[in-house]
Chain A
Amino acid sequence: SQTIHQWPATLVQPVGSPLSLECTVEGTSNPNLYWYRQAAGRGLQLLFYSVGIGQISSEVPQNLSASRPQDRQFILSSKKLLLSDSGFYLCAWSVLEAGGLYFGPGTRLTVL
């Protein structure tokens, strides 16, 4: 069966510091991978998605970036965090376009 991992689970970072969040998927090949951000415990905003290694589509211009160095690895990064980057970051995967998304456990990021 498929499993998706995210780490760390929680993170507290000062403004201006770098960020690296990692997501890996097990039990599937060539998944579509996604990064969403959830602010204030409500709506989800799609940040990036990837249909293959090295292929990244950005939905919202901002100081975040994403990379996919391996088939089942998706990384969210920032060179300098802003206060507004605080939120709950969710990684998700899908294989079939009609199959919906399957989410990881999330990373709670607090920028102080």
Chain B
Amino acid sequence: AQSVAQPEDQVNVAEGNPLTVKCTYSVSGNPYLFWYVQYPNRGLQFLLKYITGDNLVKGSYGFEAEFNKSQTSFHLKKPSALVSDSALYFCAVSAMDTGRRALTFGSGTRLQVQP
């Protein structure tokens, strides 16, 4: 079975500071990894994905994520946080060699950026 852990319920950061939202995963085989963002009462918006290739993946709104196979991690990062980045962030995983064809999501991390 595949699983995702987001160890922090909430991350607080000051505007202009770098931010990191942590994610670790467990799958059988090679993973597909994703980050999504959700604003209040809205659907999830795709931010970025790792399929193969470079371990550092760049996505929307200046976000990036680093795939670390040995640590089974896929942390989301941004060099300089904005107040508008405040939202709920979800990490998700799917295994390449499974027919399940669906993503397993973490429990979410609320990012609060203070002005």
Interface residues in chain A, defined as those with a beta carbon under 8 Å from any beta carbon in chain B: 32, 34, 36, 41-44, 46, 49, 51, 59, 88, 90, 92, 94, 97-106, 108
Interface residues in chain B, defined as those with a beta carbon under 8 Å from any beta carbon in chain A: 32, 34, 36, 41-46, 49, 51, 88, 90, 92, 94, 96, 101-108
Q: Are B94 and A43 in contact (CB under 8 A)?
A: no
CB neighbours of A104 from chain B (8 A): 43
User: How far is it, in angstroms, between the C-alpha of A106 and the C-alpha of B105 when the chains are bound?
Assistant: 17
Report the 6 A-B pairs with minimum CB-CB distance, sorted nearest first.
A103-B43, A43-B107, A44-B105, A103-B44, A106-B43, A105-B43
Q: Are B43 and A100 in contact (CB under 8 A)?
A: no
- A97-B44 in contact given A32-B101, A41-B88, A49-B101 (Cβ < 8 Å): no
CB neighbours of B34 from chain A (8 A): 100-101
Most B CB contacts (10 A, CB to CB) among A88, A92, A94, A100 go to A100
Q: Are B42 and A97 in contact (CB under 8 A)?
A: no
Most B CB contacts (10 A, CB to CB) among A34, A46, A101 go to A101
Q: Are A103 and B45 in contact (CB under 8 A)?
A: yes
Which listed residue (B42, B43, B92, B102) contacts A49, Cβ 8 A?
A: B102
CB neighbours of B42 from chain A (8 A): 105-106
- A100-B103 in contact given A42-B108, A43-B108, A44-B90 (Cβ < 8 Å): yes
